[in-house]
Structures are given as structure tokens and as C-alpha cells.
Structure 1
Amino acid sequence: MHLFIFILVYPFIWVLSKLPFRVLYFISDVVYILIYHLIGYRRDVVRKNIKIAYPDISEEKLNTMMRKFYHHFCDIFIEMIKTMSISEAEMKKRFVFTNMEVPGQLLNNNKNFILCLGHYASYEWVLSIHSHHDNKGYAIYKKIKNKYFDTLIREIRGKWKTNLVVNKEAKVKITEVLKEKNDKAVVFGFIMDQSPSNARNKHWAKFFNIKTPFFTGVEDIAKEHNLPLLFLGTKKIKRGYYESTFTVITENPREHKDYELTDTYAQLLQKQIEIAPEFYFWTHKRFKFMKGLDD
């Protein structure tokens, strides 16, 4: 069945990837009408998440934010498909890194590091970072159940010399890579804003108006291997154009108290979201577990 579905869908995806952006964004607008107005995909989840983050938001502003979010939500998947055929020159024009000298200094000094970011703006096109340097990159991701689509996603995301690692294998893989005698430093990328499915034994970080559990695996790995930790914040300039900026969280993770790095990450992520909250992925159950700030 998985193969049958893939055979049906893949030709459509391939054709889409060849279309110019103006046509793709027209299609995105049509899809927006379907999933927001007609189907109402996860609309209740998005509404609940935004109201938790912004408890005083008016109904008018809430509805405006939701409409903007769903427009962006559709654009992101269209842009991911376009990655199949987009040229390196076009990508560099549309996705700009404002301060590549920050990671460049670490790489030039042969220092491996971790890059963390949230499901914000264009997290898919962030992978084009590897077209700006010759170092190996490893991106941690959640495996798709349909193995054929999983292979396709790996190919799309691997276009910019990125090696995808299943999240459950990340810790072992990173240890293996670091034990190898690499001629050049390597980069490990994590998206780490999801609330864990199990709130026990996770760190409760302040995030907007509440405390919610964050994964601590990135902090644990950074301290275990003493890897510098960088945050990547992205701005959507206009439709199809983005700018990303690196912020150094720490170059010496072992010098920090437990969970201090996770707390810093949570605040950097929140600060980024507050600039333009419509570009955050509100469809995930961000606040499945919650505590008051005084708890």
C-alpha cells in the first residue's frame, strides 16, 4: 500500500517542483482555502496554542494570526517540494545567512558544533547552509512511516550535502562521528522546540506564560562532547525570501549549570516567535503539558 500511494503521488510532486514560484504560490493559495476554510485542518489545536501563548489576544487578532499562519503553512510545503529542482544560485538568493562568519570561525578552527533551531519560518531551507562550506553536516529528523516517502525526504533534504540521522539514533551516531578522524569539523543540526510526548524526566522551561517540558538531549550531548551550541533565528522577509542569523549560546557548554542552555534556547525561540508569531508551527501540540510559572 505504501508503494502504491508513493507511485500515485510522486509524479505530481515532481511536476510541482518544476513549476515557477508564481504558479506554486497560486497553488498554495488554493490549498490554503481547502485546509483552513473547508477542512479546518487542526484549527482547534492552532487556536488553543495561540490563546495559551497570548491569553489576552482579541478574537479579531487571533483570527488574523491564524489566517496568516495557514498561508505560511501551505507555502512551506510548496517550498519544500520546490527544493527538488531549485538551483544553488536561486537558493542563495532566497535564503540568506547574515553572519556566516560566526559558524565559519568555528569551522575554520576545526571545531565541531551543534546548531539548534525551532519550527519557525523556513526550517527546510536552513539545510542550504551546507552549500556555503565544505564541512559535513548531520541533521536529526523524525523518520516517516512510509519508507518510500522517507527516502524522498532524505533525498530532498540531502541536496545540500546534509546527512539525515533518525532522532532515536542521534546520540550513538554523533558519538561515532566524533570518534572518527575527520579532516574537517562537522555540524550537527537539531530542531528542538517540540514538547516531549512524556513530560517526566524532562526540563520544565519558561516559555511564554507558562512552563512546558523541553527536550534536554541537545544540552546533554553538547556537554558530553563539549560542543559549542549555536542558535539559528530566521526572519521571513517576504514570500519566498528569508534571512537567518546565528547566535552563540555557548562555546563551552560544560561551564553551564544543568538546564541553563535549554532555558536560554527556549527564551531565544520565544523572542524569535514574538517578532512574527504567524510563522511558528502552531499545528503541533506545543502545550500538551503545562505548569504555572510559580510551580
Structure 2
Amino acid sequence: MYTKAYRFQGAFLHPRYWGLWLLISTLWLIGRLPMAWIVKIGRKIGRLLLKIGGSRVKVTRRNLELCFPELSEAERETLLVRNFEAIGVALLEPGVAWFASSRRIRRISRVEGLENIRRHIDKGQGILICCMHMSCVEMVCRVAAEYLPFNLMYRVHDNPLYEYISNVRRQSYPYKGRYIPRKQVKDLLHFMSKGEMGIILPDQDMGKKRSLFVPFFGQTAATIPSVSDFARLSNARVIIASYYLDENNQYVLRFSQPLENFPSEDNVADTIRINQLIEERIRQHPEQYLWQHRRFKTRPPGEPSLY
């Protein structure tokens, strides 16, 4: 899909898309507000979503119970509120990510560790960036595109108009990355083997097929060993990326040093290591992680559902 230009379709003018057109227009307008205003509005939206309730609230509350048993119920409820506030902000962030100027993006962001990537890319060494589903992931992709080209593996959106608009806007970034559908793994491996940078987010439950059951936040979690597999197949160095929105409404993106002795000959040990590194970074800003996902849905044989 990334190999061809995204083309406007006459069907996008059908009334069933009018609501989304209105939403995109609203995002465009909101994206012109100061970040402090956007954050304030987003937090109110998040609190409204929490009051409306539904399955996502139940899943989030259950995930917090499973992952933070050391917290009191009141502390977890506070974390729940802050998490939905972050989700509310994330809903507005495309208005900035898609439409803001480079000057503004650089003003509201800070990137650390770029040299850890560049010194390898400059030598023709492929890099695999391991990310996680923090709430600001769309915004951080925009920040990264100010400095580096990349190949990101992603899930194609179910709504074709949203898919069209998001990818057209992403192709307007200073560095035009390739957004590669999940099923096209060989393409990602190809680009990394040529010395380019690839990005994956391996922190979600993808079912039993090919998954290993390894620890994550004290629970057994089905985890695909994609980081070690991809690094081995492409001969890429692995770097962990962490990112969050700080108290000054500035987006912080930080790249680690390349992992040493990775991948090893033990896929299980490698996957445990990656989960530990991801967990460490989530714990730094747990209110900004996507707890709405049923991370522990797939259970080992004989174990009851946690949801």
C-alpha cells in the first residue's frame, strides 16, 4: 500500500463520511490553538469519556488492577482518571501532528539520543526501533519525521477516508516515512537489511499464533518475539524508544543506546528482556500508556480469562 500514491476517491464525498470530514476540520482548527489549550480541552474530553463508561473503562480498570497491585484502589482510580485525560489529549493530537509547521513541531518537542541512530545509519547499519503504545504515538511519529526517514509497521485503519487523510498528511512531513501494513513484514526486513531504520510496536496481544508466554507487569502475557526475529533476519541493531508529554506540554522522544548481545540464541530470553525494557519505560509515565487494550486476553492452556 505504501508503494503507491494515496488517491482521493469520489466515494469519500458520500454522506456517510460527512461526520469524519467535520471531525478532520475540527482537528485542523484545534491544531492551531496553543498546546496548553489543546491539553486542557483534551483532558476534559477524556474525563467525559470516562463518565460515559463502557467496555474500555472496564478493561482499563482491570489492567490497572493486574499491573499495579501495589497501589491502593484510590490510587488506581486516580491513575485511571489521568489515563483517560491523556487519551483525550491524544484524540486531538492529529490536529497538530498532521497540520503544524516544522517550526512549531520543533518548538514543542525535545529529542534525545539521535546520535545513537545516526552513527549506525551513516555506516549502512540497519536499525530496529522498539516502541510501545503510549498515547502520544501519532504525535511522536511527527516529531521523529523532523529528523529521520523511517519505515514503520502499522495497522491499516478500518475507515478508508481516515486512512487516506492520515497517510496524505504523513507524506507531507519533512522526512517522508514508509508506513508499512503489518502483513508486509518482508518489506520492513528488506529496508532494514539495506541499512534503513524500521519501527515496530511489539507490546500488544496478537493471539496464540507464534506467541510466547512471558512476564509483563507481573502477569503472563502472550508476546510475539518479533524484535529478536526481525533483528536476526535483517542484521539490524535494536534501540528502545520512549516518549511522553511532559508537565510543560512538550513532547519528549528519547532513543537508547543499541542493545548489547541482542539478539541472542534464546528467543524466550530475548522476549523477556524486551518486555522488561518496555515495562521500565511505561512505569515512568503509566498514565500515558494505552491501557484500553486487553493485553492479557490470550491465556496459556488451562488458565481462565483475566477479563
Give the TM-score normalised by structure 2: 0.83
Name the CA distance, whole Å, in 2 between partners of 1:288 and 1:214: 11
Name the CA distance, whole Å, in 2 between partners of 1:254 and 1:44: 37
> Which letter does structure 2 place at the counterpart of 1:273?
I
Asked if the contact 2:191/2:198 (under 8 Å) is kept, the reply is no
Equivalent in the alignment of 1:151: 164
Shift in Å, 1:253: 4.2
Which of 280, 287, 290 matches 2:289?
Answer: 280
Shift in Å, 1:156: 3.6
Q: Structure 1 pair 152/230, CA: closer, same or farther in 2 (3 Å)? A: same
Q: Structure 1 pair 265/25, CA: closer, same or farther in 2 (3 Å)? A: same
Name the CA distance, whole Å, in 1 between partners of 2:108 and 2:265: 36
Name the CA distance, whole Å, in 2 between partners of 1:271 and 1:168: 29
Equivalent in the alignment of 1:21: 35
Shift in Å, 1:40: 4.9
The 3-state SS of whatever aligns with 1:259 is helix
- Stretches of 4+ moved more than 6 A in 1? none
Name the CA distance, whole Å, in 2 between partners of 1:6 and 1:47: 29
Asked if the contact 2:140/2:251 (under 8 Å) is kept, the reply is no
Q: How many correspondences in the alignment?
A: 284
Asked if the contact 1:121/1:234 (under 8 Å) is kept, the reply is no
Name the CA distance, whole Å, in 2 between partners of 1:173 and 1:142: 15
Shift in Å, 1:28: 1.4
Asked if the contact 2:190/2:234 (under 8 Å) is kept, the reply is no
Name the CA distance, whole Å, in 1 between partners of 2:211 and 2:272: 12
Equivalent in the alignment of 1:166: 181
Q: Structure 1 pair 275/20, CA: closer, same or farther in 2 (3 Å)? A: closer
Q: Structure 1 pair 249/111, CA: closer, same or farther in 2 (3 Å)? A: closer
Equivalent in the alignment of 2:198: 188
Equivalent in the alignment of 2:304: none
Equivalent in the alignment of 1:108: 122
Which of 92, 117, 120 matches 2:131?
Answer: 117
Equivalent in the alignment of 1:97: 111
The 3-state SS of whatever aligns with 1:131 is coil
Deviations 1:263-294 (A, max 9, x none): 221001111122231111101111113469xx
Shift in Å, 1:60: 0.8
The 3-state SS of whatever aligns with 1:243 is strand
Deviations 1:41-60 (A, max 9, x none): 61111000010111232111
Q: Structure 1 pair 235/175, CA: closer, same or farther in 2 (3 Å)? A: closer
The 3-state SS of whatever aligns with 1:85 is coil
Equivalent in the alignment of 1:237: 246
Shift in Å, 1:98: 1.6
Deviations 1:147-172 (A, max 9, x none): 11011222344424221111111x12
Which of 131, 139, 159 matches 2:146?
Answer: 131
Q: Which has the higher mean CA deviation after the structures are superposed, 187-196 or 154-163?
A: 154-163
For the pair 1:46 / 2:60, whether they are aligned, the reply is: yes
Q: Structure 1 pair 111/32, CA: closer, same or farther in 2 (3 Å)? A: same
Asked if the contact 2:157/2:163 (under 8 Å) is kept, the reply is yes
Give the TM-score normalised by structure 1: 0.86
Q: Which has the higher mean CA deviation after the structures are superposed, 220-229 or 257-266?
A: 257-266
> Which letter does structure 1 place at the counterpart of 2:239?
L
Q: Structure 1 pair 246/21, CA: closer, same or farther in 2 (3 Å)? A: closer
Name the CA distance, whole Å, in 2 between partners of 1:94 and 1:52: 34
